[in-house]
Structures are given as C-alpha cells and as structure tokens.
Structure 1
Amino acid sequence: MRQYKYFVLTLTIVAIDQAVKLLVHYNMTMGPAGEINLLGEWFKLHYVLNRGMAFGLSFGAGYGKLALTVFRLLAILFIAYGLFRLTKTKYHAGLLWCIAAILGGAIGNLVDSVFYGALLDNAPYNSITPWFHGQVIDMLYFDFWEGYLPDWFPLWGGKKVALLPIFNMADVAILVGVLGILVFQKTFFRQAESRLTQV
C-alpha cells in the first residue's frame, strides 16, 4: 500500500494540469489579445500552443511529431515502472516524491499530445492525423524581456523570442522534481550507498 501514495501525487498533478489547460482553452483568447496580468506586467496568463518540445523546438507535424509522442509514452511507462520498483526499496522518500512529480508532469503534457489534436482540434494543419499530434497548451509567462535574435543565432535566429518560455503546470511539476533530485541528490542516494556497502 505504501507505494500508492506516490501515484496519488502523480494523478493529482495530472488533474490540476488538465483542469488549468481546459479552463484556459475554453475561457481565453490565444496570444497577446487574451493576455491576463496576474502580478503586474511581469507575470501573466498568455495562451499559446506548443507543438510539444521544450522552448518551442519542433520535429514537424508529420511522422516526427508522432515519433516524439510515442517516445514520450515509452519514457512515461519506464518512469512509472521505475517508480513502482523503487517504492519497494528503502530509497529516500524525497526521491520518490520527486520522481512522482516528474511522472505527473510528463503524463500531463502527453495527454495534450495524444488527445488534444482530435478533441480540441488543435493539431497543426498538415498533420497526418489529429491523434498523437495535439499541441501542448501553455499559459504561464514571466514577461521579463522579448525581442528578435539575429539570423546567425542557432535554432532561434531571426525569430521573436522571450527570455523565458511560456510554460504550464506540468512543466512546473517536472522542473520541481528535477531540481529536487539535483539539490538533494546526496541525501537521496546516501541511503542506497550505505545499503550497498552492507551487502
């Protein structure tokens, strides 16, 4: 029974993430016209669609997007299986909470990719099918700076970019989980090391 509490966190993150995304989709206009200031001019709700990779990178709307979505699904299955196995060991509970948060965030964004193209009709126009080609809904925006990068700049050259990307609740969960593991890794893995030396 001990292991299921971590999956409760995962499911809670998915539920919150999806609720926020659907509220934004059905109640906001995309782009600057629908922007809502939350904290002055620097933290806003700003509805955009992301084809699915971090920082606006894309594999395209055809088989590249399909491959990316399938890869994400396999990664999530691997993480879920790993979390389930780790809950049966004596690893630090903090590590398990962090992995559960990462899993919840990953599932939240996968739901968009798998279903939203068909259910919310947000697949790019040249997609081979709306299923598995949905665009991820992003809305949280720290508006510190945005402008155009010169053409010679790798990947984003010649495009309008923001200092920080627009993100969603799933991204927050992933970031918190990863940062938690990085910051507390010595604490998390000390128990495992001591167990190995006792064998």
Structure 2
Amino acid sequence: MSLKKASIIIILILLIDQISKFYIKTNFMLGEEVRVSNWFRILFVENEGMAWGAKIPGEYGKLLLTLFRLGAIVGIGYWLWDSVRNNGSRILITAIAFIFAGAFGNIIDSVFYGIIFDDSYGHVASFMPEGGGYGTLFHGKVVDMLYFPLYDGILPEWIPFWGGENFRFFEPVFNVADTAISTGVVLLLLFNKRAFPNKDEEKNE
C-alpha cells in the first residue's frame, strides 16, 4: 500500500472523529445522554487523562501526558513511513494508519480543545468563545460519546464472588479515535502472520 492511500485512510478517520467531537461539544452539555437503543447511547463525557479515565497525578501530569502522546505519534508516524518504504504488507500499513489516525485525533483534543472551547458544565460549549477557553494549550480534555451498555442487570446468584451484584458491560465511554486505535491493534493481533511475515515466507511468495 502506498503512503498516499494510507494518508487517505488517516484523513477520513480524522474527519469523522473531529466532526463527531465538534458536534457533541457544541450541542450537548456534559453528562447529557441520548438513548439510541437499550444497548447503544450517545453520552457526552470528557476524559482528562489516559484510557479508562486514569490520570498522571501532579500539577504537570496533564502536560506530561500530552507531550508523551506527541512523542508517541512521531514514533507511529515513522513506523508508518518506514513500513511503506520497505514495502510492508497491506494489513500492516492499514493497521498502523488506523492507530496513527486514532492517536492523532485524541492529540488534537488534548492540545487545542482547552483554548478553542469553553467548558460544558451546565451549558453547551461555544467554539472560540470571547472570554477564552476552559484551559490552556496542551491542557485540553478528550471528548468521548460512544456508550454501549450491552448488559446492565443483576448477575445470577450462582456466579462466584459477583453473584447477586449489579453488573454493567460495556462500561467505558469512547470515541471514533479510540475505535480506530482498537481496530488497528486487533488487525495486528488477528493477522499477525500476514502483517509480519518472516523472511522464509517472503522468499516463498
């Protein structure tokens, strides 16, 4: 796969990711929810830190996380360029493109959203507000909205340890960028041999 085709994949994912985030941020208050079905909801939350809501503690934790993400995206970008240069497999380049686009999408939030939006507490945020954003450069929050509570109920009593307790699956709220990253990782895991063929297999082909 050429770098041009990989770039098209990246641009499409970024457009879908950012358009969906802009729509949610400028039409929903924080915590507002739309029930699409029993197992799919649009729920606006903001993630200040890493996956699953984890955060790096301390005054400079958020800044360190954003700088780490920027360093990671440079590394992923080089991996993509190098894979194309060395005629890597189509599945490998596709997977890296998905991971790159997802990581880049969330970096945009972390770097810029603090200065281009005001907060969403009790009201719908404004884009480029006159009074300034809710944060500073590199201190934005990642917008999440996709929520799939596939099961929400009481577990049977016969289940060890958790029987009789309320259980919800799938609990995390995520976004299109997260989905792209997960898709890329799953592609690498499922098609590992095709993504990373050994030298003997390449010679036979």
Name the TM tier (shorter chain): 0.7 to 0.9
Instruction: Kindly provide the amino acid, as one letter, of the partner of residue 54 in structure 2.
Output: L
Q: Deviations over 1:60-114 (max 9, x none)?
A: 4731110110010011011101111110113211110000000000000000000
Q: 1:122, 1:135 within 8 Å by CA — same for their partners in 2?
A: no
Distance change (3 Å), C-alpha of 1:54 and 1:146: farther
Q: CA-atom RMSD, angstroms? A: 2.4
How far is the alpha carbon of 1:48 from its aligned partner?
0.4
Q: Work out the CA distance in 2 between the residues paired with 1:86 and 1:184.
A: 16
1:37 to 35, 40, 48: 35
Quick check: 1:90 aligned with 2:87? yes
Question: Is 1:6 aligned with 2:6?
Answer: yes
Among residues 137, 140, 156, which one is paired with 1:134 in the alignment? 140
- Provide the rounded CA distance (Å) in 2 between the counterparts of 1:75 and 1:169: 19
| Long gaps (5+) in structure 1 | 124-128, 148-160
Gaps of 5+ in 2: 121-134, 155-167
Superimposed CA distance per residue, residues 47-67 of structure 1 (whole angstroms, 9 cap, x where no aligned partner): 001003100111147311101
Shift in Å, 1:194: 2.8
Which entry has the higher C-alpha Rg, 1 or 2? 2
Equivalence for 1:28: 28
Measured after TM superposition, the shift of residue 29 of structure 1 is: 2.2
- Indicate if the aligned counterparts of 1:52 and 1:113 stay in contact, CA closer than 8 A: no
Q: Work out the CA distance in 2 between the residues paired with 1:4 and 1:62.
A: 41
Cα deviation 1:95-135 (Å, max 9, x = unaligned)? 10000000000000000000011111349xxxxx6111101
1:87 aligns to what SS in structure 2? Answer: helix
Name the amino acid aligned to 1:115: F
Q: How does 1:29-108 map to 2 (within 5 A)?
A: 29-31=29-31, 34-38=32-36, 40-60=37-57, 62-108=59-105
Residues 170 and 61 (structure 1 numbering): CA distance in 2 closer, same or farther, change over 3 Å? Answer: farther
Q: Secondary structure at the match of 1:36?
A: strand
Following the alignment from structure 1 to structure 2, what is the Cα–Cα distance between the partners of residues 119 and 70? 19
Larger proportion of helix = 1
Residue in 1 that maps onto 2:196: 189
| Letter of the 1:168 counterpart | N
Shift in Å at residue 164 of structure 1?
2.3
C-alpha contact (below 8 Å) 1:115/1:132 kept by paired residues: yes
Task: Count how many residue pairs are aligned between Structure 1 and Structure 2.
Answer: 176
Cα distance, 1:162 vs structure 2: 6.9
* Contact 1:105–1:171 under 8 Å retained in 2: yes
Q: TM-score, normalised by structure 1?
A: 0.80
Q: CA deviation at 1:4?
A: 1.8
Q: Give the whole-Å Cα distance in 2 for the aligned partners of 1:79 and 1:131.
A: 23
Q: Which residue of 2 aligns with 1:150?
A: none
